[in-house]
Chain A
Amino acid sequence: MLEIKDIHASVEGKEILKGLSLDVKAGEIHVIMGPNGSGKSTLANIVAGKEEYEVTEGSIFLEGEDIEELAAEERAHKGVFLSFQYPVEIPGLTVTNFMKTAINETRKAQGLEEMPAKDMLKKIREKSELLEIDRKFLSRSLNKGFSGGEKKRNEIFQMAMMEPKLAILDETDSGLDIDALRIVANGVNKLKNQDNAIVVITHYQRLLEYIVPDFVHVLYDGKIVKSGTKELAFELEEKGYDWIKEDIKV
């Protein structure tokens, strides 16, 4: 599904990713953990295609296709989705109209007809129920006046609507209370299937009580320094990142 090969990336001339490789297959959930400043969000942004991030070396493949040169919207059309760490607010644009536009622009790019209004409404209803989102939120300006938890739930609602092949959840769990965390995790689990893949970027292992990853990777100083299974996350939680730093030195 996603294959990242020896990627180097910088922002404003500063190198953040220093030869990162990652291989995510369809049907898998990968968790990426790491201390602040290790490059987690940069990884999310270069996969989604943010232009401020310059890839200086290496390549990114989605289903075997090099997507490194593609614009953010083209990557979305091919099935890449990023759940933002800090979702933006757009006053004057309702959640419903935003999603309608996103879905129909994507369908247009894929050579499909616009989704009939009836189907759109049905889908919106189903997915908002899945995320336990009150319908009145959907007629409000996107993220405007939403709490942190509501914004994150809205991100996963959008993921449910877009049905991406590859979803990257950038610290979707931070700022969530336990109920919201449960709802978000439940949503993610329901959306997961054998044909898609999810990369979860997180600080904490508490999300892993709800979402069971196939692999856990530790990102440190722009590289993946350790990979393992779920147990690695618990080990990290217990020993902290200093343990990794020590480990690398050895």
Chain B
Amino acid sequence: MELKDKLVSSFLAFENTVDVDAPVHDIRSQAIKTFEEKGFPSKKEEAWKYTSLKTVLKHDYSVFPKEENALEFRDVKKYFLHDLDTYKIVFIDGKYSSHLSETTHDKIDVCLMSAALTRDKYRVVIDNYFNKIAPKDGLSSLNTAFSKEGAYIYIPKNKLADKPIQIIHLSTGKESAQLLQPRNLIVVEENSHVQIIERHQSLTDNAVLTNSVTEIFADKRAVVDYYKIQNDNQEASLIDNTYIEQQTQSLVSVHTFAFGGNITRNNLNFYQKGEGINSVLNGITIIEGKQHVDHNTLVHHTEPNCESHQDYKGIFDERATGVFNGKIIVNKEAQKTNAFQSNNNILLSDKATINSKPQLEIFADDVKCSHGCTIGQLDDNVLFYMRSRGIGEKEARALLMYAFANNVLESVKIPQLKSRINKLIANKLNVNIGFDL
């Protein structure tokens, strides 16, 4: 049976596991209909021209988490940012692991979507925010239909989350192929701040497909820093759908570190709904082998005096393929918009490719919008210069790649995270530079 049919027919079984009288269930049943109509995207769609899900969809995925699998912290410690005090929401094969987690209800809520979707005390927030900005495309609808578990973060007004929050998804590979569909909701009210780090990690070579949806709401003057670490196994694919709505003078930044996996697709959409908003989209992609990373971004400016800054760097070796598709829409009312986009790439091999496509739709006349895209190789003259100073060829190449990605790394605000990303890059490039840039 095709995965689509399997999923549609599984919905009945899924309904036995949730409260079908809850208001959110109407949203789910509507969503499964939408998915049934639209299905998975194909390469015929412009937005999926360079990313094919065909090979990923052919696995016979187990579509619900079957049992609770336990893991010892010491065995998975390396996937945590463990030298930093954080809240943790940890899932093993899609099921919440209370053993590995550290949640809170003290002034702020850092807890589970399953609780938020079922308990009365969260009812107002769910009514106001759940599924309000996720678009009605096939993949988001699929996630919505099966939405049950994920991270729920609610920061009421004038609160500073006292420590960063890690959301970690671990896959044990007990099933030969596992589909995971986490659903996250993050609501940050006026003047509040939060920092979130998200990671998906498969522990074996069995196939994993994650179709994740995250909705983030940043109210007036809220500050949200979101970091995504995508450094997964060769058999793990990720479709990350992140939708962000920002109100007046809020600042939201999303950093995406795409260092591996089979197929990684990031749909990252920012919807600005007020004035004086700043949206920051930064990314570093370093991949090799046959890995594929696709960044599909949208920033929609609707009101005057807002900014957006996009800076994506990519390094592609062997047969790796990259896609950058960055769309900026500036409405007629959004005068004095400053929208910047840059996508710079280095191809280390003749077989590596990058497809980079900016799309600017500007309807206002008094705006500053720029986009730039470069594709290059490491310059032999620069390498010779470095080697003539005693730096070996391998180290010189790595140092150049570090330098290339440095300004994105610089903007990481959590020092321990920055240092971790530094180490991940050093591991990927197989060098020990001896200092953090």
Complex alpha-carbon distance, A73 and B435, angstroms: 20
CB pair A104 B434 closer than 8 Å = yes
Whether a CB of chain B sits under 8 angstroms from the CB of A121 is: no
Task: Report whether B434 and A72 are in contact in the complex, using a CB–CB cutoff of 8 Å.
Answer: no
In the complex, A158 has a CB within 8 A of chain B: yes
Closest-CB distance, B321 to chain A (whole angstroms): 25
Query: When the two chains form their complex, are residues B407 and A101 in contact, meaning their CB atoms are under 8 A apart?
Result: no
| Given the contacts A73-B387, A76-B388, A91-B403, A101 and B433 also touching, CB distance less than 8 Å | yes
Question: Counting CB contacts under 8 A, is B382 at the interface?
Answer: yes
Inter-subunit contact B437/A97 (CB<8 Å): yes
Is B11's beta carbon under 8 Å from chain A? no
Q: What mask results when residues 184 to 225 of chain B are scored 1 for a CB within 8 Å of chain A, else 0?
A: 000000000000000000000000000000000000000000
**Chain A neighbourhood of B382, CB < 8 A:** 88, 90
Of the candidates A72, A91, A158, which one forms a contact with B387 in the assembled complex, judged by CB atoms under 8 Å apart? A72
Contact A105 B388 (CB under 8 A): no
Looking at the complex, which one of B380, B390, B392, B403 makes contact with A93 (CB distance below 8 Å)? Answer: B403
- Taking CB atoms, residues of chain A closer than 8 Å to B393 are 71, 73
Report chain A residues within 8 Å CB of B121.
Answer: none
Q: Which residues on A sit within 8 Å (CB–CB) of B386?
A: 90, 98, 102
Known interface pairs A88-B381, A97-B435; 16 further A-B residue pairs with C-beta atoms within 8 A, sorted by A's residue number: A73-B390, A73-B391, A73-B396, A76-B387, A88-B379, A91-B404, A92-B402, A92-B404, A93-B400, A93-B403, A101-B433, A102-B386, A105-B391, A106-B390, A141-B403, A158-B389
| Number of cross-chain contacts by CB at 8 Å | 85
Give the shortest distance, in Å, between A162 (CB) and chain B (any CB). Answer: 7
User: Quick check: is A204 within 8 A (CB to CB) of the other chain?
Assistant: no
Whole-angstrom CA separation of A90 from B379 in the bound complex = 10
Interface: B318 (CB within 8 A)? no
Does B175 have its Cβ within 8 Å of any Cβ on chain A? no
Contact with B along A65-80 (1 / 0, CB 8 A): 0000001110111001
Tell me the bound Cα distance from A51 to B387 in angstroms.
11
Q: Say yes or no: A101-B388 contact (C-beta < 8 A), given A92-B406, A114-B434.
A: no
- Report yes or no: B404 in contact with A105, Cβ–Cβ below 8 A: no
Chain B residues, CB < 8 A from A50: 384
Partner of B390, one of A88, A90, A109: A109
Q: Is B385 an interface residue (CB 8 A)?
A: yes
Among A49, A81, A103, A105, residue most surrounded by chain B Cβ atoms (within 10 Å): A105
Which residues on A sit within 8 Å (CB–CB) of B137?
none
User: What are 12 inter-chain pairs, A to B, with CB distance below 8 A?
Assistant: A51-B384, A72-B388, A73-B388, A73-B390, A73-B396, A84-B385, A90-B403, A93-B406, A93-B437, A104-B434, A105-B395, A106-B390
Q: Are B392 and A105 in contact (CB under 8 A)?
A: yes
Q: Which 3 A-B pairs rank lowest in CB-CB distance, beginning with the nearest?
A: A92-B403, A92-B406, A106-B390
- Report whether B399 and A88 are in contact in the complex, using a CB–CB cutoff of 8 Å: no
Tell me the smallest distance from the CB of B52 to a CB of chain A, in Å: 34
Residues of B within 8 A of A71 (CB): 387, 393
Note all chain A residues with C-beta closer than 8 A to B400: 90, 93
- Nearest CB on B from A65, distance (A): 17
Roughly how many angstroms separate A37 CA and B29 CA in the complex, as a whole number?
78
Residue of B nearest to A72 (CB): B387
Closest to B407 in A: A92
Contact flags (1/0) for A149-161 with B, using CB distance below 8 Å? 0000000001000
Q: B residues touching A (Cβ–Cβ < 8 Å)?
A: 379-382, 384-393, 395-396, 399-400, 402-407, 433-435, 437
Give chain A nearest CB distance to B372 CB in angstroms. Answer: 14
* A72 in contact with B384 (CB, 8 Å): yes
B399 / chain A contacts, CB cutoff of 8 Å: 93, 98, 101
Give complex CA distance A84, B387 in Å. 13
Q: Please tell me if A82 contacts chain B, counting CB pairs below 8 Å.
A: yes
The residue of chain A having its C-beta at the shortest distance from the C-beta of B437 within the complex is A97
Instruction: Kindly state whether residue A87 has any CB partner on chain B within 8 Å.
Output: yes
**Which residues of B are found within 8 Å of A100, using beta-carbon distances?**
434-435
Which residues on A are within 8 Å of B, measured CB to CB? 48-52, 71-73, 75-77, 80-82, 84, 87-88, 90-93, 97-98, 100-106, 109, 114, 141, 158, 162
Contact A77 B384 (CB under 8 A): no
Tell me which residues across on chain B come within 8 A of A51, comparing CB atoms: 384
Contact B385 A162 (CB under 8 A): no
Interface hub of A76, A81, A106 (most chain B Cβ within 10 A):
A76
| The residue from B390, B405, B407, B437 contacting A105, defined by CB atoms under 8 A apart | B390
Q: Give the Cβ gap from B436 to chain A, nearest Cβ, in Å.
A: 10
| Contact across chains for B388 and A48 when beta carbons are under 8 A apart | yes
Residues of A within 8 A of B389 (CB): 76, 98, 102, 106, 158, 162
Residues from chain B with a CB closer than 8 A to the CB of A80 are 388
Q: Please measure, in the bound complex, the distance between the C-alpha atom of A130 and the C-alpha atom of B399, giving whole angstroms.
A: 28
With A92-B437, A97-B435 in contact, do A82 and B388 touch (Cβ < 8 Å)?
yes
CA distance A104 to B404 in the complex (A): 21
Distance in Å: Cβ of B385 to nearest Cβ of chain A: 5
Least CB distance from B376 to A in Å reads: 12
In the assembled complex, the CB of B350 is this many whole angstroms from the nearest CB of chain A, namely: 19
**CB of A92, distance to nearest CB on chain B (Å):** 3
Chain B residues contacting A92 (CB-CB under 8 Å) are 402-407, 437
Question: Closest residue to A141 on the B side, CB-wise?
Answer: B403
Nearest CB of chain A from residue B434's CB, rounded to whole Å: 6
Q: Please give, as numbers and ranges, the residues of chain B lying within 8 Å of A141 by CB-CB distance.
A: 403
User: A91: nearest residue on chain B (CB-CB)?
Assistant: B403
A90 to B395 alpha-carbon distance, docked (Å): 14
B403-A102 in contact (CB<8A): no
Contacts of A87 in B (CB 8 A): 385
Whether the Cβ atoms of A88 and B391 lie closer than 8 Å is: no
Quick check: A101 and B391 within 8 Å, CB to CB? yes
Residues of B within 8 A of A162 (CB): 389-390
Residue numbers in B under 8 Å from A105 (CB-CB):
390-392, 395
Given A73-B393, A100-B435, A102-B390, also A88-B402 (CB < 8 A): no
B405 shortest CB reach to chain A, Å: 8
User: For residue B400, which residue of chain A has the nearest CB?
Assistant: A90
Distance of A48 Cα from B384 Cα, bound (Å): 9
Q: Which residues from A are CB-within-8-Å of B433? A: 101
In the complex, how many angstroms separate the beta carbon of B346 from the nearest chain A beta carbon? 12
The smallest beta-carbon distance between A46 and chain B, in angstroms, is: 12
The residue in B379, B388, B399, B407 that gathers the most chain A C-beta atoms within 10 A of its C-beta is B388
